[in-house]
Amino acid sequence: MYVMKENIINRAINVLDANFQKGGFTIPSKGLYPFQWKWDSGFIAVGLAHYNIDHAKKEIETLLNAQWDNGFIPHIVFHTDDDSYFPGHDFHRSDLHPLSSKKYKSTGMTQPPVTAFVLQDMLNIVDDKEDMLNFIKGQIDKVYDNHVYFYENRDPQNEGLVYIYHNWESGTDNSPVWDDIWDTMNPPEYTFERKDTTHVDASQRPSKREYDHYLYIIDIAKQNNYDDAKIAELSPFLVQDPLFNAMLIKSNKALMELYELFGGNEDKIAYLRKNQERSIAAFNQKLWDNELGAYVHYDMRNDKPIRHVSSSSFSPLFAGIPSKERAEVLVNTMMDRFGGDDKYLCASFDPTDNRFNPRKYWRGPVWINMNWMLYRGLKEYGYKEIAARVQNDSIELVERDGFFEYFDCRKDTGEEIRKGYGGDNFSWTAALIIDLLKG
């Protein structure tokens, strides 16, 4: 066991080192994703903190350097002019927003706010606490400003829940949850050259028609210079996502705890506390589906819940959102639908739903970042055995199938040689496996 563990950790370190760039950030996967992604950076920094603290700090620093003057942090920072990815900076045009960074080209959309809880994790991992505290002191206000940005600009009805206006903001790009929204839209047929399908089999990626929807939503945002109020008024995609809001809540807590360590900052702590209470209450009230026994997404544009269970439904465990009683219902739902003996935990979409696809990206495969959060959440609520299963399943998949982007949740795929799906040598898989093995 010990030798095996060391061996995976060394392989994971090799993946991360190979993906680290001169500019001080880590690409998610060579070829497929050649820039810096917001939530990837966070997960990567957790892994880096175990063996290369300088790189871990750099990862966070380079991301936060690209913050806009209104506190917004973009989902992709285009540090280089690489044209092997579509859509690139020339499509996204972050310069249209008056407060966007003048120094860094980026997208005009964001991703789940993981940075604050990542900073807290980094502090917990390293031995030299003083050094890390100094680093955090220099970065924390930027992360706070990002949370203020969300509450002041992404919550038009002042509910305590923030919206996302694009499926790429969710991180769960082609989840079947979005199919309900695509059904309400009829975007034009765009002409463009896909780059992702030159790196990964098309059967494991979103369809061309799905990409038309993705591009169309960006076009609407661009026509309005990425103005948040206009987007809230006009975007055909406007969703309160349980994963995104759970990350915000988890990060609010981390920010408050970190500020408390430093002393002072009473105003900031009070602001976060007020919003935290509202957010948790609204989350439990609006996003809980009693019949499904799970948290679900809410479609603000069409004013209705999107009633499907996905791995996002379980992310509130990581943020301490459900009561003990509700957590039990949620875990039972997960075990009934996702937890059969013939499956690895945890599929990204409900295997009992007819939209489930075990090979297609966010429509069913297991993702290590979601498992990492699930493992922590289950442990926190006292589900030690199920947590251990999530941990072991993750390690087994990576050990056998490789450091891939996503994995088949079926124990028997019908194929002789198993392999992971999507990009190979994928950074957050490597980073979080290190943390899962050490934790």
Q: What share of the chain is helix, strand, coil (3-state, %, to 5)?
A: 55, 10, 40
The residue among 32 and 292 lying less far from ligand 2M8, judged by its C-beta, is 32
The residue among 251 and 275 lying less far from ligand 2M8, judged by its C-beta, is 251
Which own/partner contact pairs does 418-422 have at CB distance under 8 Å and 24+ positions apart?
421/200, 421/201, 421/204, 421/359, 421/361, 421/365, 422/29, 422/32, 422/200, 422/204, 422/205, 422/361, 422/365
The one catalytic residue among 401, 405, 424, 435: 405
d(CA 121, CA 147): 18
The residue among 33 and 135 lying less far from ligand 2M8, judged by its C-beta, is 33
Kindly state the smallest distance separating residue 281's Cβ from ligand 2M8, in Å. Answer: 28
Residue 226: DSSP 8-state: T
Kindly state the smallest distance separating residue 362's Cβ from ligand 2M8, in Å. Answer: 7
Residue 405 falls in the annotated catalytic set: yes
d(CA 207, CA 189): 12
Kindly state the smallest distance separating residue 20's Cβ from ligand 2M8, in Å. Answer: 15
- From the list 128, 387, 110, the residue with the least C-alpha distance to 251 is 110
d(CA 57, CA 59): 5
Within 13 Å, how many C-alpha atoms sit on residue 159's CB side?
Answer: 17
d(CA 252, CA 128): 24
Beta-strand ranges (E) seen in 356-409 are none
The residue among 313 and 333 lying less far from ligand 2M8, judged by its C-beta, is 313
Kindly state the smallest distance separating residue 86's Cβ from ligand 2M8, in Å. Answer: 8
Residue 173 falls in the annotated catalytic set: yes
d(CA 173, CA 168): 5
φ and ψ at 109, to 5 degrees? -130, 165
d(CA 298, CA 238): 9
- For residues 376 and 392, is the Cβ–Cβ distance under 8 A? no
Contact residues: ligand 2M8, CB under 6 A: 28, 33, 37, 39-40, 75, 168, 171, 173, 196
Kindly state the smallest distance separating residue 5's Cβ from ligand 2M8, in Å. Answer: 26
Kindly state the smallest distance separating residue 277's Cβ from ligand 2M8, in Å. Answer: 29
Kindly state the smallest distance separating residue 382's Cβ from ligand 2M8, in Å. Answer: 29
The residue among 210 and 257 lying less far from ligand 2M8, judged by its C-beta, is 210
The residue among 168 and 237 lying less far from ligand 2M8, judged by its C-beta, is 168
d(CA 280, CA 205): 34
Structure tokens at 81: 């002019």
The residue among 33 and 151 lying less far from ligand 2M8, judged by its C-beta, is 33
The one catalytic residue among 173, 227, 328, 399: 173
What is the identity of the amino acid at 12? A
Which residues are within 8 A (CB) of 171 and not within 5 positions of it... i.e. 6 or more apart? 39, 111, 112, 243, 244
Residue 245: DSSP 8-state: H
Structure tokens at 28: 């998610």
Catalytic residues: 173, 405
